[in-house]
């Protein structure tokens, strides 16, 4: 049974070094979190799993890492400056600020019950900043509210440097910023977060089939990181609730302790973004390539043969410009972390009335893959052997292997259960003569005696899921 209570999870994340309130020694900043020694590992492992599955395992994807600071015109023409708004109201009695679209009753203050509320106004969620040393117009820029726009503005660059043909996609992971009216539910809704986004470019007309295919691909990925399909609801977003660029969106909603809520949006963005950036490039005449009669309004576009059959036979016929349609699976790293933590959290009753807390992460996501411990910390020969095994395991490149010299194996097992370490490897006095170690499994708690010569292959097998 996944966790039902967010407070317990928040406490564990703080106690064990997964997640800290940012700047907590100064009272903290709401909606900002820092990731501790185990949090950074979990986060990196989730991102690596996404990149492996979405880029390396496919033959139709390229990667990108765009700038975080965005050009004001980019966000003007993407529609964000005008429409990336949430409806904000304020209570005149207690000054609480609220998002009216998230309130059960928009006429009553959620904090004090007053009906003395200001009429809702559109609040733009982008963080505006001054770029460079000169203040004033011409120096403003924005922290990107989504990573997507750099994929669109680099569409031609990627196309030209990789010779891709439709369909193909561009993947990007990175920070995004939103000045959320209310940050809440731990790392679920924050003001600085990371996205894992794909823009998948297809011929117009093939967009709806591609949209359905991506829905299946993404559900399978969530399952592969331990987020059970049975706990994800697919929401076909109502027309009136769609983002300004979307023709249709599926939201994947996970059963968090606070209720079903979005972990990923899979949108059919049509040709909205490529089309708009192209149109405005032409309007602004920003580049020499753009003139009224050289298909300038097709700059972020592909050239296709009018007669594909003739082209396949090598006949060079006329070509035309097409602005591709885009399917966009966009997931949040923090929300993925939270869902993975919720799914992994387990409390188990043990014999004798005792109990234990275990994070049953999939091994490839576990922050520590294996802990190697000498049975006693004051026996140099045991410590040296444990260090040697740790170094050897570390070289496998599976992720973090920990040398744990606390010396109390029972306590160490409990600690490693609570942070989700799949394997604990104990070096005892017999190990020095029989060249074997004790390997304890996190989930079953069974212990086996394993020859040291087989240890690396065994650990690799567990971490890689074999
Ligand atoms: N480019 C499309 C896009 O940004 P979105 O539905 O607004 O779409 C995509 O965001 C994902 O980013 C969400 O499903 C969520 O996982 C994550 N996300 C959005 N806002 C967030 C926030 N304030 N805190 C944490 N994650 C957020």
Concatenated DSSP letters of 187-215: TTB-SEEEEEEEEEEE-TTSHHHHHHHHH
Q: Which residue has the tokens 């399909």?
A: 229
Mean model confidence pLDDT for the chain: 94
Report the nearest-CA residue for atom 21 of ligand 1: 189
Range of the domain at 432: 366-463
46 and 179 within one domain? yes
Indicate whether 276 belongs to any domain. Answer: no
Residue 56: what pLDDT? 98
253 and 202 within one domain? yes
Indicate whether 372 belongs to any domain. Answer: yes
Q: Is the CB of 264 under 6 A from ligand 1?
A: yes
Domain total of the chain = 2
| Percent of the chain predicted with pLDDT > 90 | 87
Residue 285: what pLDDT? 61
Q: What is the distance between the alpha carbons of residues 253 and 233, in angstroms, rounded to a whole number?
A: 5
370 and 334 within one domain? no
User: What are 80-115's pLDDT values in tens digits?
Assistant: 999 999 999 999 999 999 999 989 999 999 999 999
Indicate whether 96 belongs to any domain. Answer: no
- Whether 298 has a pLDDT exceeding 50, the answer reads no
333 and 197 within one domain? yes
For residues 170 and 198, the answer to whether their CB atoms sit within 8 Å is: yes
Q: Is the CB of 46 under 6 A from ligand 1?
A: no
408 and 446 within one domain? yes
Task: Give the CATH number of the domain where residue 245 resides.
Answer: 3.30.930.10
Q: What is the distance between the alpha carbons of residues 222 and 264, in angstroms, rounded to a whole number?
A: 10
Helices (H), 68-165: 72-77, 80-83, 148-153, 155-162
Indicate whether 95 belongs to any domain. Answer: no
Residue 135: what pLDDT? 80
Give Cα 271 to chain centroid, integer Å.
25
Task: Give the CATH number of the domain where residue 411 resides.
Answer: 3.40.50.800
For residues 69 and 144, the answer to whether their CB atoms sit within 8 Å is: yes
Least confident of 94-103, 158-167, 198-207, 286-295: 286-295
248 and 374 within one domain? no
User: What are 331-347's pLDDT values in tens digits?
Assistant: 999 999 999 999 999 99
Contacts with 57 (C-beta within 8 Å, 6 or more apart), sequence order = none
Task: Calculate helix-pair angle for 37-51, 333-344, nearest 10 degrees.
Answer: 110
Residue 226: what pLDDT? 97
Compute, in angstroms, the gap from residue 259 CA to the centroid of ligand 1: 17
User: What are 186-239's pLDDT values in tens digits?
Assistant: 999 999 999 999 999 999 999 999 999 999 999 999 999 999 999 999 999 999
329 and 199 within one domain? yes
Indicate whether 136 belongs to any domain. Answer: no
Q: Which residue has the tokens 């995004």?
A: 176
Indicate whether 280 belongs to any domain. Answer: no
217 and 166 within one domain? yes
Report the nearest-CA residue for atom 25 of ligand 1: 189
Residue 284: what pLDDT? 67
- Whether 245 has a pLDDT exceeding 80, the answer reads yes
Mean pLDDT of 290-299: 46
Question: H or E element: which one contains 451?
Answer: strand 447-451
Helices (H), 294-332: 308-312
> 168-177 and 355-359: which strand pairing?
unpaired
Under the banding of pLDDT at 50, 70 and 90, the label for residue 4 is confident
Measured in degrees and rounded to the nearest 5, phi and psi for residue 248 equal: -160, 140
331 and 448 within one domain? no
Mean pLDDT of 344-358: 95
Q: Is the CB of 263 under 6 A from ligand 1?
A: yes
Residue 136: what pLDDT? 77
Residue 286: what pLDDT? 54
More confident residue, 306 or 457: 457
Indicate whether 361 belongs to any domain. Answer: no
Q: How far apart, in Å, are the Cα atoms of 188 and each of 6, 253, 371?
A: 11, 12, 30
Indicate whether 449 belongs to any domain. Answer: yes
Compute, in angstroms, the gap from residue 67 CA to the centroid of ligand 1: 18
Mutate to test the pocket of ligand 1, among 332, 333, 334 (most ligand atoms within 8 A of CB): 332
171 and 245 within one domain? yes
392 and 332 within one domain? no
Mean pLDDT of 297-318: 85
Residue 41: what pLDDT? 98
Q: What is the DSSP letter of 111?
A: T
238 and 194 within one domain? yes
- Whether 327 has a pLDDT exceeding 90, the answer reads yes
Report the nearest-CA residue for atom 4 of ligand 1: 146
């Amino acid at each position: 049974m996944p966790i039902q209570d967010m407070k317990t999870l928040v406490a564990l994340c703080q106690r064990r070094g997964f997640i800290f309130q940012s700047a907590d020694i100064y009272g903290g900043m709401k909606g900002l979190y820092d990731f501790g020694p185990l949090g950074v590992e979990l986060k990196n492992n989730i991102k690596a799993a996404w990149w492996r599955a979405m880029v390396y395992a496919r033959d139709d994807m390229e990667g990108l890492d765009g700038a975080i600071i965005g050009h004001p015109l980019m966000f003007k023409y993407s529609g964000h400056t005008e429409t990336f708004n949430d409806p904000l109201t304020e209570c005149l009695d207690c000054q609480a600020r609220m998002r009216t679209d998230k309130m059960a009753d928009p006429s009553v203050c959620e904090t004090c019950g007053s009906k003395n509320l200001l009429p809702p106004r559109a609040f733009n969620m982008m963080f505006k900043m001054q770029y460079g040393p000169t203040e004033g117009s011409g120096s403003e820029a924005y922290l990107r509210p989504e990573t997507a726009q750099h994929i669109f503005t680099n569409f031609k660059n990627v196309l030209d440097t990789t010779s891709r043909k439709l369909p193909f996609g561009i993947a990007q992971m990175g920070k995004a910023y939103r000045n959320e009216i209310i940050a809440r539910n731990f790392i679920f809704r924050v003001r600085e977060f990371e996205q894992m986004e794909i823009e998948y470019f297809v011929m117009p007309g093939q967009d709806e089939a591609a949209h359905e295919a991506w829905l299946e691909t993404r559900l399978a990925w969530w399952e592969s990181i331990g987020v059970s399909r049975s706990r994800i609801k697919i929401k076909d977003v109502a027309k009136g609730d769609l983002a300004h660029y979307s023709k249709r969106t599926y939201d994947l909603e996970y059963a968090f302790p606070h209720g079903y809520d979005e972990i990923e949006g899979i949108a059919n963005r049509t040709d909205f973004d490529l089309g708009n950036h192209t149109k405005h490039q032409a309007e602004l005449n920003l580049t020499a390539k753009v003139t009224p009669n050289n298909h300038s309004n097709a700059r972020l576009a592909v050239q296709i043969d009018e007669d594909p059959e003739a082209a396949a036979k090598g006949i060079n016929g006329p070509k035309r410009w097409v602005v591709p349609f885009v399917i966009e699976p966009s997931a949040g790293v923090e929300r993925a972390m939270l869902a993975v933590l919720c799914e992994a959290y387990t409390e188990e009753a043990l014999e004798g009335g005792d109990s234990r807390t275990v994070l049953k992460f999939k091994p490839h996501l576990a922050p520590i893959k294996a802990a190697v411990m000498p049975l006693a910390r004051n026996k140099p020969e045991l410590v040296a052997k444990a260090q040697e095994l740790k170094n050897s395991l570390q070289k496998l490149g599976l992720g973090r292997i920990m040398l744990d010299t606390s010396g109390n194996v029972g306590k160490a097992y409990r600690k490693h259960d609570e942070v989700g370490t799949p394997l604990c490897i104990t070096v005892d006095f017999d190990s020095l003569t029989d060249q074997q170690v004790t390997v304890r499994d996190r989930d079953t708690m069974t212990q086996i005696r394993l020859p040291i010569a087989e240890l690396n292959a065994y650990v690799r097998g567990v971490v890689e899921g074999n």
